[in-house]
């Protein structure tokens, strides 16, 4: 079942409709996805190879409308799905979509990527998602909190510079160049690394008190002045919340759909896309083991009743490292879109797993500024 935030199904449970009503609702949604037009009873008299009278279809459509699954636009006698109807369709009625050979080949090209950074893979995947779906694609990298440093390394560069390596996890590493007016030696740099691992590795920032810093300065002797700028970088690494970046591609794709022909709808959509922190929060607050579908007003991010968001998180070694998805009209082809997004997320995860992928840490290159 598609994931969604909270209990947003508004009573759309599997046993809420008769089998014939389910068939009719699925036909209405499928037809509306294809052509965007209201669906009349005459178009539904043959469902699943079985003939039904127009009167029977009208009665069932009236029942579906009364229960809130379909509605009648003001200018038509036909019916269109409501938000509740789409939700029921996504959770219970949609067909299984089989990807074409070309789509599979495109997804495999992501898995075969030789890029060394998740950021670059997501950039490519976002463009592919936009091109394959003809919707607006989004990719999110979650905020990564520093926390506890697992290990320090110090590298002697020359008599006035050393490299400090702060390892939070294997995938979250910060390196900083530290400058010193006091001439350095390889021995004092090695001593500094040993002190950092003794006093600052495996503990929280609260545990590194002034007394601890003073003791480290005492043990460093003539190089005591190194401790303060180094601990400043250590504190920053422990409290760093990097990431949370949202990439967007293919915004113009949506302008071809009638749902966005009104300038007000376009402005609302562009305003939502610009609120990237809200999109990142929506992803971080959603279930991580499912494809998430947010339809219309279900969205914590206000994208208007005519839009939906579909996305799936990407995991590496059990940790969520990003998410990929699309924003499109509420009448999107959910079966195809969900299958493509699931396949794309899997291909990205495969590409990440191919090697020691550089996931978004804090700074992963030396800081050229003096400390």
Q: In this predicted structure, what is the pLDDT of residue 141? A: 83
Query: Is pLDDT at 356 greater than 50 in this prediction?
Result: no
> Higher pLDDT residue, 105 or 303?
105
Above 50 in pLDDT, residue 10? no
Q: How far, in Å, CA of 85 to CA of 295, rounded?
A: 10
| Domain spanning 19-93, CATH class | mainly alpha
For the stretch 291-345, pLDDT in tens is 999 998 887 676 666 889 999 999 888 888 889 999 999 999 999 999 999 999 9
Which sequence spans correspond to the domains of the chain?
19-93, 101-143+244-353, 151-242
Q: Is the pLDDT of residue 11 over 80?
A: no
Highest mean pLDDT among 61-65, 74-78, 169-173, 177-181 belongs to: 61-65
For residue 5, is pLDDT > 60? no
What topology does CATH give the domain 101-143+244-353?
Beta-Lactamase (3.30.450)
The residue ranking higher by pLDDT, 8 or 74, is 74
pLDDT at 365 over 60: no
Maximum C-alpha span of the chain: 95
Q: Which residues lie below 8 Å from residue 94, measured CB to CB, with a gap of 6+?
A: 26, 334, 335, 338
Residue 116 has pLDDT above 60, yes or no: no
Averaged over 243-249, what is the pLDDT?
A: 81
Mean pLDDT score, 136-148: 79
With cut-offs at 50, 70 and 90, classify the pLDDT of residue 171: low
| Residue 123: pLDDT over 80 | yes
Give the lowest-confidence range in 181-190, 241-250, 327-336.
241-250
Residue 174 has a pLDDT of 82
Evaluate whether the domain defined by 151-242 bears CATH number 1.20.1180: no
For 47-56, what is the mean pLDDT?
Answer: 86
Is residue 243's pLDDT more than 70? no
Checking if the pLDDT of 110 tops 60, the result is yes
Q: What is the mean pLDDT of residues 95-104?
A: 91
pLDDT band at 241 (very low <50, low <70, confident <90, very high): low
Q: What are phi and psi of 27, to 5 degrees?
A: -65, -40
Say how far apart CA 40 and CA 349 lie, in whole Å: 44
Q: pTM higher than 0.75, yes or no?
A: no
Average pLDDT, the chain: 84
């Amino acid at each position: 079942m598609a994931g969604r935030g909270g209990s947003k199904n508004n009573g759309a449970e599997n046993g809420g409709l008769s089998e014939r009503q389910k068939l009719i609702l699925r036909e209405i949604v499928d037809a509306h996805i294809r052509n965007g037009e209201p669906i009349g009873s005459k178009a539904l008299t043959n469902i699943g190879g079985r003939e039904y009278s127009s009167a029977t279809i009208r009665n069932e459509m009236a029942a579906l409308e009364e229960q809130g699954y379909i509605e009648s636009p003001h200018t038509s006698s036909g019916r269109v799905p409501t938000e509740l109807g789409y939700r029921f369709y996504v959770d219970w009625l949609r067909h299984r979509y089989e990807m074409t050979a070309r789509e599979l080949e495109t997804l495999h090209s992501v898995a075969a990527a030789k890029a060394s950074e998740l950021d670059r893979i997501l950039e490519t995947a976002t463009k592919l998602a936009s091109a394959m779906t003809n919707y607006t694609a989004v990719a999110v990298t979650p905020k990564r909190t520093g926390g506890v440093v697992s290990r320090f390394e110090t590298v002697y560069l020359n008599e006035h510079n050393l490299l400090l390596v702060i390892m939070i996890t294997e995938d979250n590493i910060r390196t900083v160049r530290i400058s010193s007016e006091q001439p350095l030696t390889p021995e004092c740099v090695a001593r500094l690394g040993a002190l950092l691992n003794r006093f600052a590795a495996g503990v929280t920032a609260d545990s590194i008190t002034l007394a601890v810093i003073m003791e480290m300065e005492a043990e460093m002797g003539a190089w005591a002045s190194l401790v303060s700028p180094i601990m400043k970088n250590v504190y920053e690494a422990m409290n760093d919340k990097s990431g949370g970046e949202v990439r967007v591609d293919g915004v113009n794709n949506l302008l071809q759909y009638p749902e966005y022909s009104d300038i007000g709808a376009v402005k609302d959509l562009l305003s939502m896309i610009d609120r990237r922190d809200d999109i990142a929060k929506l992803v971080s607050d959603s279930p991580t083991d499912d494809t998430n579908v947010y339809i219309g007003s279900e969205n914590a991010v206000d994208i208007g009743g005519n839009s939906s968001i579909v996305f799936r998180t990407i995991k590496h070694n059990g940790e969520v490292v990003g998410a990929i998805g699309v924003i499109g009209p509420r009448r999107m082809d959910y079966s195809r879109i969900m299958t493509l997004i699931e396949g794309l997320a899997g291909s990205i995860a495969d590409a990440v797993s191919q090697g020691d992928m550089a996931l978004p840490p804090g700074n992963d290159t030396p800081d050229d500024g003096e400390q």
